[in-house]
Amino acid sequence: MQQLSDIKSAARSVWARGDYDAMMRAENLYEVGEQLVRRLGVGAGQRVIDVACGSGNAAIPAAQAGARVTGVDLAPEMLEMARARAQDAGVIVEWVEGDAEDLPLPDAEADVVLSTFGCMFAPRHEVAADELARVLAPGGRLGLCAWTPDGVFGDFFRIVAGYLPPDPEFVDPPLAWGDEARVSELFEGTGLTLGFERATWEIIHASVDVAVACYTDNLGPVNQARELALSQGRWPGLQAELADLFARYRSADGRVVLPAEYLVITGRRR
C-alpha cells in the first residue's frame, strides 16, 4: 500500500527532527525505561528486544543488567543517538533499523520484549501487537509503557494534532495504547496474559516558556507542528495553547510540574 509506505517514510523524517535525547534528559524520562527493566526482572543471559527503541530507552538499561539486547527503530537517526549512548554507558547492543509492524527478527526470538513510549506510534496497532507477540518465546515476558489519553500528555498530543495534517483513516491514534480495554483487544488471540498498572512520572521544567521550548525544539512531531504553524501564520495559536496547558501545572515558584500519567502493560506468553 503506497499510502502506508508514505506514512512510514514521513515518520522516519519526523522522528529525525529536533533532539530526542536532549528532551529525554531534560525530563529524566530514561528512568522510566530503567524501571521497566527492573519490573520485568531482566537479567544476565536473557534475550531482550526493545521495539521502537528510540535513543535506547529500555535497551541500554537491559544491557546493563547483563541481557543480550537488540534495539529496533524505524529512524536511523534515533539509532545513531542510541549507539552513542550505549558507547558512553560501556554496553553492547545490536542496533537494527526496522519497523515495529514488520520486525526483522525470527519467531520466538526473545525472552523479554520491551517498548517505552515507542510502539504506540506505529500506525496499525493490531499489526504491531501481533509482531510483539510473534517474536516473544513461550513463557516470555512483555513490558510496554504508553501515555494515557486522559493524562496531561493526552491533552498535549491532542493540541499538537490540531496543527498537523490529519492521518488517514487506517492510522490508529497513538493514545489508544494507553487504554486498558483497547490493549486487551489488540492482544486477543496472541497467547499473552496481560496485566495493567497506571503510573505517574513527574516532569519538571523551569518555567512555562522552557516547557514549550523543550518540546517544540526537541520532539519531532511537535517540531514539525511548529514549522507548519509558522508557515501558516498559526504559530501564536499553537504556542498559546501549549503555554495554557503547561500553566495549569505551574507551581508557586514558577516551575512547571507535570504529573505525566502512563499505562504500564505487562504480559506473559503461554
Tell me if 108 is assigned to some domain: yes
Q: What is the pLDDT of residues 112-163, one digit of tens each?
A: 999 999 999 999 999 999 999 999 999 999 999 999 999 999 999 999 999 9
Question: Which pLDDT band holds residue 62 (cuts at 50, 70, 90)?
Answer: very high
Domain that holds residue 9: 2-148+171-202+261-269
The domain that holds 118 is classified in CATH as 3.40.50.150
Number of domains in the chain: 1
Q: What is the pLDDT of residues 6-46, one digit of tens each?
A: 999 999 999 999 999 999 999 999 999 999 999 999 999 99
- Helix (H), strand (E) counts: the chain: 11, 7
Tell me if 38 is assigned to some domain: yes
The secondary structure of residue 102, as a DSSP letter, is B
pTM tops 0.85, yes or no: yes
Tell me if 135 is assigned to some domain: yes
How far is the CA of 47 from the CAs of 50, 67, 98, 103, 207, in angstroms? 10, 6, 18, 15, 42
Question: Which pLDDT band holds residue 69 (cuts at 50, 70, 90)?
Answer: very high
- 65 closest CA partner among 43, 86, 48: 43
Grid cell, residue 146, equals: 504508553
Residue 1 in this model has a pLDDT that exceeds 80: no
Grid cell, residue 101, equals: 509492524
Tell me if 120 is assigned to some domain: yes
